[in-house]
Structure 1
Amino acid sequence: MNQKVLENTRNVAIVGPYSSGKTTLLESLLFLAGATTRKGSIKDGNTVGDSSPEAKERQMSVEVTAASATYQDINFTFLDCPGSIEFAQETYNALVGAGAAIIVCEPVIDRVLTLSPLFKFLDDWEIPHLVFINKMDRSKNGFMDVLHALREVSSRPLIPQQYPIYQGEELVGYIDLVTEQAYHYHAGSPADPVPLPEHLKDEEKAARTEMLETLADFDDHLLEELLEDIDPPQEEILQDLKKELGADQIVPVFLGIAEQDYGVLPLLDALIKEAPAPTVTAERRGLTAADKDNTIVQVLKTYFTPQGGRLSLVRVWQGEVTDGMALNGVRAGGIYRMMGQQQQPIGRAFAGEIIAIGRLEGIQTGDILTSSNQKKVPQLPQAEKLEPVYALAITPENRKDEVKLSAAMGKLIEEDPSLYWEQHGDTKEVILWGQGEIHLQVALDRLRRKYNLPMTTHLPQVPYKETIRQATKSHGRYKHQTGGHGAFGDVYLDIKPLPRGEGFHFHETIVGGVVPKQYIPGVETGVREYLEHGPLGFPVVDVDVTLTDGSYHTVDSSEQAFKQAARIAMTEGMPKCQPILLEPILMIAVSVPSEFTSKALQLVSGRRGQILGYEGREDWKGWDRVTAYLPQAEMHNFIIELRSLTMGVGTFTWQYDHLQEVPEKLTETVLASASNGNGKS
């Protein structure tokens, strides 16, 4: 292992809410580090990040983008992560391999709550992170007010390393709270040192004291110095910042305007001086140097590129990767550093680096790969897979393309594991599941663009069932005469309802051989076939059918004839049993910040939901968890409304629970819709 490479490597994820300026910050970081000769812009569609057609069209990140730069002998890999909650799986998968993260946010107190899930994920995974308050030129709130709001959503103490300098409402510079040096920003060049403004001396002193006192909570020596009114040396402060940040005990806060490069160089310098080396993250994951000869990598993201096919973005946890090396028995077909959609071939990569490997066929996102077939693959943690919350039924525009759909969907899900697809057993529809409306539209765009599979979509049908309320007896006789042998079957059936959830039971009480044993399976088959479409047009459940009597013909009877007789008996008898419509009921658990709990309760109740209760969400300060029963027919846009009521952070999980009778008025609507042939209620 090349120790110098290891110590001089930094993997930094850039995360934050949609429109906070993450991709703009990446452009500034790459430009100031000399990795690019000019900065791209979201508006012009020429940024290193957000370079896919789907991202350009929506002017938003829809997948992780990796970009490399070298600055002051430090090799950086930046991971620009999507901000929309609908693409959170991408972000979480990438963060697993990051050594540090920059949370980019706007100085808007009302939007701070949107950072809550990110802070929670980073704290749970103990990933060191800094905050960069972007767009400070648009701030309508004071810096310390924004800082206070941010502290409400973080379980780690936030400490400012800078203090803003304003002239009127214009941000003109900052004060470095470590050195107490003031700087003025200049467009196109580094900030200039200037004397500390007199009117800010008291505020700067208070902010610096707060920073030092927070650091002293983790350093007894610093605490002693503060108690004795000794001004600690700058080197000691920087060492404390590095140590506490590396241990994920503090969150340093920086500020600036990424679009103008203001505050970006100090952020880059902080990553060099304070962000931990890759060994820190590896040790936290339970890896030690004892097995250094065994290469271990983890797949953070899978791409399918138009030119080179499969490309796996990986974190090298241990050892080194060389071109042609076998990982889990699969030979690496090229090793690359990434610059957006551009790939730079390299001969090898060392522990701590994030690089891309070509043609790792059969390897999935999240997989742990090793170079040794003899050694056990270590159990490294993986990001939890998000449950799908939104669905569309999809059909190829060209019916001939149906045969290509399965392979294309497989690749789509390899690129984005938060997608899921199924062919529904009852409705026979192909249903695509994901994290929201935009998420599925991006997936459909990829199907069309990458695999030439344009799709039509509609709302998935609700898999209604039907059952009966009362019992009846029914007789069915099938008699058919042709030139040769005829067909004869004759049955008497008892039909009665079963308790909800019992399914279908079939019995026979034949005596005296009035229906020979070899024909009885045909009777059951005929009953089962009929129950696929009951008198209301839906599959029938919770019914008991007993064959009680019948007759046969020694020549003309057959199993097929008795099957037809059973269908006739069911067709005659079932409409007399008071058929009723049943709908699937889901058990849902809705998670929202406590201030939105009442809105969540109203949303559930307004969709015919039955509230079961609510309580504080475990390990989530200031969040509640509402449990309820919700009809599946009311689920379709539930996540869209929930997010609109909760600033985009509300979510829910669900599972099928039981069937329940559909209210009479709604039954009429469903049956009318079904009779019109659409059944998409």
Structure 2
Amino acid sequence: MSEVLPGDRRVAGPRLIALVGPFQSGKTSLLESILTRGGALARQGSVRDGSSVGDSSPEARAHAASVEVNIASVDYLGDRFTFVDLPGSVEFAYEARNVLPLCDAAVVVCEADERKLPALRVILRELEDLGLPRVLFINKIDAANVRIRDALALLQPASRTPLLLRQIPIWQNGIVTGFIDLALERAFVYREHAPSVVVDVPAGELPTEKEARYTMLEKLADYDDGLMEELLSDIEPPRDQIFDDLRRDLRDGRVAPVLIGSASEGHGVTRLLKALRHEAPAIARTRARLGIADEGAPLAHVIKTIHTAHGGKLSFARVLRGAFVDGATVKSARGEDRISGLSRLMGVASSKQARVEEGDCVAFGRLDHVATGDSLGDAKGGVPAPVVAAIAPPAPAYGLAVTVKDRKDEARLATAIAKLCEEDPSLVFAQDQEAAEMRLLGQGEMHVRVALERLAARFGVLVETHKPAVGYKETIRQTVNVRGRHKKQSGGHGQFGDVALDVAPLTRGEGFAFNETVHGGAVPRNYFGAIEEGCVDALERGPLGFPVVDVKVTLTDGSYHTVDSSDMAFRTAARLGVAEALAKAGPVLLEPIQSVEITTPSDSLSKITAIVSGRRGQILGYDARPDWEGWDVLNALIPEAEMEGLIVELRSATAGVGSFTQKFDHWAEIAGKSADAIVANRAAAKTPAH
């Protein structure tokens, strides 16, 4: 039987714990094992065979990866815990940013794998910046082939906070068969899918255990003068004192305790749960970190929005203070709503609740005026101040143009995508009027692909996709004088407009300018506005097939008819005249150039420079990333036509952690065969099929 040991002392609950870690580190398997150990599941499911509580969506199962936040609650030894399993891929990281500030602690699931260190560094940095207490769980220890001391040395550079080894593995014939808890000075032998058995520390492991324990105590003594004096005096510190130090140092972010185990086999999970139970801070500490008073009206904060097929909109929220009951009215900055159901989630399953207390994490039903990031108060308490500053989604890094396969779905497309974007604000649905395209934009190829899969599976809207059109434009090199004349006679009043125009190039970026130098009333002033409109009409599509920019048109002369002249006649004359001038004025194609800032680990910089050069990019320079040792920021100019798929190549070269931002910089002329091919493709696209 497993034994109740000193240190298994109850602190408080309920608590919200985040499971974070690099892609495919085993977070979802750990959640499954935790739920089984806590009695929420009768049998542990498997991510591999698609029977897990987490990653239960069709998209997650299809890609064998977490593509959304998974939420599940479990009662363990009298305390309630809600675990949020956050996606490891950077493409879905925005969801984590809305959840993490509201958590009490995080379990960082990782491996002693050098290839995953960049991703681990990014994750730990965010937790450190938030001041969120964190425990590292070195997973897959049963398959490890490195000593724990070497593993710790490998992982420490990823953390600015000292890593504190709490457990060491027991090796037998090259296999990890259990572990020794350094605080308890007890050994635990693994059993398959069952709690470990407590045994005395094997005699052969005693020297290693004593050394590792002393190292742990030395690190704790850095923050406890009394403990330091005891160590210097060779006095064995009381066990309760050690656990008090562990609890305090975790809470204050002085150390990050390191535990070991195997999520898929359930090894080390019970000790992890017990460590969280008596060491992880409770809601009062989280309130203090967020600057929220302990006393006051009921308060909750929405961390996730979900649209379900049968339950409608669910707003998953952390209750930070007070209590909420089903049917009550809540207020947010957007308005008032009546709670239509309170429920705890277990993956896709839910259980109804009549009342929820502070610390609870539950789904509020049908709050139509509430969005992720909103704070909720009760009807009597007034509109609450925001708990967490609004977290702006990152700029899109990848996009596709979309068209519905069935035109009857056009209206449903907008509604469905609006719901997807409400669930995940890092998705953007945009209409490019110039290219006449609808575009779905996101954080990467997988991010957009998953959104399209949800669009089909959940809303029944099928779309076709293609690469977004590049915003080419054209301009002219020469000044041309033309006469635009429109004359039409067809019974009754005719149409007559006659203009003499100078069409000239402007400096790049000046756009369009219209002027007039007409003398003697050759063209009445009341037609000047219509003539300018006609000029603008002609610039919508130039002789190369693209919008025309940086052109100045001057009206120099013309004539009119007292009966047949009209605004429309002069507008048409101006359009015809400018169109003729553009064809004669040396038209030239312009391509948009983007200013791109790329963030990358330093050891990947040479790969990034090669990628930029291969995309016709001009490298402007690079420098160290401020306050990020081992990272660089590279600045470059890259044609918009070469940006497609950049994020995919960038992440492949940086173990998934590279990122970039972009903004328009300038227009550049493009000539020769490249320009000819672009013009030909444009002409073909505009030619109707026969």
TM-score bracket, normalised by the shorter chain, equals over 0.9
The residue aligned with 1:319 is 322
Instruction: Evaluate the alpha carbon distance shift between residue 436 and residue 606 of structure 1 in structure 2; reply closer, same or farther with a 3 A threshold.
Output: same
Give the aligned residue type for 1:189: A
The residue aligned with 2:347 is 340
SS of 2:124's partner is helix
CA displacement at 1:599 relative to structure 2? 1.4
The residue aligned with 2:79 is 74
Q: 1-side partners of 2:135 and 2:593: how far apart?
A: 44
Instruction: Evaluate the alpha carbon distance shift between residue 677 and residue 378 of structure 1 in structure 2; reply closer, same or farther with a 3 A threshold.
Output: closer
Q: What TM-score, normalized to structure 1?
A: 0.96
Q: 2-side partners of 1:137 and 1:123: how far apart?
A: 29
2:307 aligned with 1:309: no
Matches within 5 A, 1:261-272: 261-272=266-277
2:396 aligned with 1:388: yes
Question: Which of 331, 351, 369 matches 1:362?
Answer: 369
Matches within 5 A, 1:11-22: 11-22=16-27
Deviations 1:127-148 (A, max 9, x none): 1111111111222332222211
Q: What is the CA RMSD across the aligned residues, in angstroms?
A: 1.7
Question: Which of 486, 489, 502 matches 2:494?
Answer: 486
Matches within 5 A, 1:93-104: 93-104=98-109
Matches within 5 A, 1:469-508: 469-508=477-516
Matches within 5 A, 1:98-177: 98-177=103-182
SS of 2:470's partner is coil
Instruction: Evaluate the alpha carbon distance shift between residue 6 and residue 402 of structure 1 in structure 2; reply closer, same or farther with a 3 A threshold.
Output: farther
CA displacement at 1:6 relative to structure 2? 9.6
Question: Which of 616, 622, 632 matches 2:624?
Answer: 616
Matches within 5 A, 1:356-435: 356-371=363-378, 372=380, 374=382, 376-435=384-443
2:475 aligned with 1:467: yes
Q: 2-side partners of 1:270 and 1:406: how far apart?
A: 47
The residue aligned with 2:279 is 274
Deviations 1:174-229 (A, max 9, x none): 11111222221111432223343344333323322221122122222222222222
CA displacement at 1:549 relative to structure 2? 0.4
Q: 1-side partners of 2:339 and 2:252: how far apart?
A: 34
CA displacement at 1:490 relative to structure 2? 0.7
Give the aligned residue type for 1:205: K
In structure 1, runs of 5+ residues without a counterpart are: none
Instruction: Evaluate the alpha carbon distance shift between residue 527 and residue 258 of structure 1 in structure 2; reply closer, same or farther with a 3 A threshold.
Output: same
SS of 2:634's partner is strand
Q: 1-side partners of 2:560 and 2:505: how far apart?
A: 28
Contact 2:115 2:655 in 1 (8 A): no
Instruction: Evaluate the alpha carbon distance shift between residue 457 and residue 572 of structure 1 in structure 2; reply closer, same or farther with a 3 A threshold.
Output: same
SS of 1:553's partner is coil
Contact 2:290 2:387 in 1 (8 A): no
CA displacement at 1:528 relative to structure 2? 0.3
CA displacement at 1:110 relative to structure 2? 2.8
2:49 aligned with 1:44: yes
Give the aligned residue type for 1:440: V
Instruction: Evaluate the alpha carbon distance shift between residue 42 and residue 592 of structure 1 in structure 2; reply closer, same or farther with a 3 A threshold.
Output: same
The residue aligned with 1:632 is 640
Question: Which of 550, 564, 575 matches 2:572?
Answer: 564
Contact 2:373 2:388 in 1 (8 A): no
Contact 1:33 1:71 in 2 (8 A): yes
SS of 1:242's partner is helix
Give the aligned residue type for 2:341: G
Contact 1:534 1:574 in 2 (8 A): yes
Contact 2:50 2:61 in 1 (8 A): yes
How many residues in Structure 1 have an aligned counterpart in Structure 2?
Answer: 674
CA displacement at 1:308 relative to structure 2? 0.4
2:334 aligned with 1:349: no
Q: 2-side partners of 1:564 and 1:185: how far apart?
A: 86
Question: Which of 46, 60, 68 matches 1:55?
Answer: 60
Question: Which of 13, 36, 39 matches 1:8?
Answer: 13
Q: 1-side partners of 2:643 and 2:467: how far apart?
A: 11
SS of 1:8's partner is coil
CA displacement at 1:335 relative to structure 2? 0.7
Give the aligned residue type for 1:266: R
SS of 1:462's partner is coil
Moved more, 434-443 or 319-328: 319-328
2:459 aligned with 1:451: yes
Contact 1:297 1:318 in 2 (8 A): yes
CA displacement at 1:168 relative to structure 2? 2.5
The residue aligned with 2:91 is 86
Deviations 1:517-541 (A, max 9, x none): 1222111111101100011111111
Q: 2-side partners of 1:262 and 1:32: how far apart?
A: 10
Give the aligned residue type for 2:63: R
The residue aligned with 1:587 is 595
Q: 2-side partners of 1:78 and 1:379: how far apart?
A: 21
2:548 aligned with 1:545: no
2:481 aligned with 1:442: no
Deviations 1:227-247 (A, max 9, x none): 222221211111111111111
Give the aligned residue type for 1:467: T
Q: 2-side partners of 1:203 and 1:110: how far apart?
A: 29
Give the aligned residue type for 1:7: A
Give the aligned residue type for 1:330: D
Contact 1:17 1:114 in 2 (8 A): yes
Deviations 1:43-65 (A, max 9, x none): 22221111111111112111111
Moved more, 375-384 or 339-348: 375-384
Q: 2-side partners of 1:252 and 1:664: how far apart?
A: 62
The residue aligned with 1:205 is 210
CA displacement at 1:379 relative to structure 2? 4.6
Deviations 1:239-285 (A, max 9, x none): 11111111122111111111111111111110111111111111000
The residue aligned with 2:248 is 243
Q: 1-side partners of 2:384 and 2:29: how far apart?
A: 42
CA displacement at 1:469 relative to structure 2? 1.3
Instruction: Evaluate the alpha carbon distance shift between residue 262 and residue 426 of structure 1 in structure 2; reply closer, same or farther with a 3 A threshold.
Output: same
Instruction: Evaluate the alpha carbon distance shift between residue 578 and residue 96 of structure 1 in structure 2; reply closer, same or farther with a 3 A threshold.
Output: same
Q: 2-side partners of 1:305 and 1:674: how far apart?
A: 42
Contact 1:172 1:184 in 2 (8 A): yes
The residue aligned with 2:294 is 289
SS of 1:164's partner is strand
Give the aligned residue type for 2:315: S
CA displacement at 1:564 relative to structure 2? 1.2
SS of 1:438's partner is helix
Q: 1-side partners of 2:300 and 2:13: how far apart?
A: 19
The residue aligned with 1:186 is 191
Q: 2-side partners of 1:601 and 1:440: how far apart?
A: 26
Tell me the percent identity. 46
Contact 2:517 2:556 in 1 (8 A): yes
Contact 1:109 1:141 in 2 (8 A): no
Give the aligned residue type for 1:468: I
Instruction: Evaluate the alpha carbon distance shift between residue 668 and residue 373 of structure 1 in structure 2; reply closer, same or farther with a 3 A threshold.
Output: farther
Instruction: Evaluate the alpha carbon distance shift between residue 678 and residue 390 of structure 1 in structure 2; reply closer, same or farther with a 3 A threshold.
Output: farther
In structure 2, runs of 5+ residues without a counterpart are: 1-9
Instruction: Evaluate the alpha carbon distance shift between residue 383 and residue 147 of structure 1 in structure 2; reply closer, same or farther with a 3 A threshold.
Output: farther
CA displacement at 1:311 relative to structure 2? 0.5
CA displacement at 1:169 relative to structure 2? 2.4
